[in-house]
């Protein structure tokens, strides 16, 4: 690939890949959100199939039902507030891994939460709602596509350097590597800006779903006490500013009226069946 071609591709992507998040923030979006969603379908099955094969998915019916109910209330509000998510194939799975304190949501509403978070944190329903509301917000705000976009630009830029040095084989390999970006919703940390955005969106979703927004601060207090000098994975992949607690407290007060509203709280009915074979979602 010619150096001039790679440079032109990089400059074009930077110039045209603009979008706006639900909070009004300007986003760089070279990778379409629709692509991130389609790739996440197979990435989700790839990530969870080993647990399913070992009998470690949703193996406690009571816990799975609790998580589905809480998450279903959040999803119902997400669909109401963000209609573009109405046709998503929403899914939530509980992974039986008592040592992992984490939860995540891929593009398109593909979610998981680990029993380690439930056992070590001992969260209330309100606190689980804050965890999953935060994760759902990452998907609603297209943070996966945003990370994939920056990853793709970095890949093309490195390929440009390789091509400029005459290493055409490595240049081609770097460009081909962009296809492996679909799993970044789980493997790469979000930016501090994305975390702040997910905090604000997530606490609002939880309040709209009838969960106490003040649980956001108690949740993070509990998270900070787990692991001592070694923070849980949930915190290591969710970089937080020092004043996060103050921000969450302020947001909680802002959304208290939504929580206190006596309107009915609908529940989105999540599927309970086993994962389909990976081959069934590959194109």
Q: What is the C-alpha separation between 108 and 41, in angstroms, rounded?
A: 8
Residue 212 exposure: Cα atoms within 13 Å on the Cβ side: 10
* CB count in 10 Å sphere of residue 97: 16
Q: Is position 135 annotated as part of the catalytic site?
A: yes
Alpha helices in the chain (DSSP H): 3-16, 33-53, 61-81, 115-121, 125-140, 143-164, 168-176, 184-187, 192-208, 215-225, 233-236, 244-260
Q: What is the C-alpha separation between 116 and 62, in angstroms, rounded?
A: 16
Q: How many residues does the chain have?
A: 283
Task: List residues bridging with 195 in a β-sheet.
Answer: none
Q: Which of 127, 135, 195, 204 is catalytic?
A: 135
Which residue, chain included where needed, has tokens 């509990």? 222
Which residue, chain included where needed, has tokens 């979000």? 190
233, 226 contact by CB (below 8 A): no
Q: Which residues are catalytic?
A: 135
């Amino acid at each position: 690939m010619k150096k001039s071609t790679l440079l032109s591709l990089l400059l074009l992507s930077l110039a045209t890949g603009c979008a706006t998040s639900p909070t009004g923030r300007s986003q760089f979006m070279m990778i379409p959100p629709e692509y991130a969603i389609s790739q996440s379908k197979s990435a989700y099955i790839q990530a969870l199939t080993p647990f399913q094969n070992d009998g470690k998915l949703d193996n406690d019916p009571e816990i799975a039902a609790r998580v589905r109910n809480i998450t279903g209330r959040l999803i119902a509000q997400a669909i109401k507030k963000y209609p573009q998510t109405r046709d998503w194939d929403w899914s939530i799975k509980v992974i039986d891994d008592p040592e992992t304190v984490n939860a995540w949501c891929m593009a398109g509403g593909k979610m998981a939460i680990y029993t380690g978070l439930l056992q070590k944190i001992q969260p209330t329903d309100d606190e689980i709602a804050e965890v999953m509301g935060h994760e759902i917000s990452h998907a609603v705000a297209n943070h996966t596509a945003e990370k994939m976009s920056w990853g793709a630009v970095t890949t093309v830029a490195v390929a440009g350097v390789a091509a400029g040095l005459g290493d055409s084989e490595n240049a081609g390999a770097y460009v081909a590597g962009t296809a492996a970006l679909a799993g970044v919703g789980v493997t790469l940390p979000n930016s501090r800006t994305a975390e702040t955005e997910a905090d604000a969106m997530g606490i609002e979703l939880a309040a709209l779903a009838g969960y106490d927004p003040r649980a956001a601060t108690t949740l993070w207090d509990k998270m900070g006490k787990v692991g001592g000098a070694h923070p849980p994975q949930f915190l290591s992949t969710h970089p937080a500013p020092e004043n996060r607690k103050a921000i969450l407290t302020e947001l909680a007060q802002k959304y208290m009226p939504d929580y206190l509203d006596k309107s009915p709280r609908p529940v989105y009915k999540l599927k309970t069946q086993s994962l389909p074979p990976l081959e069934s979602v590959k194109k």
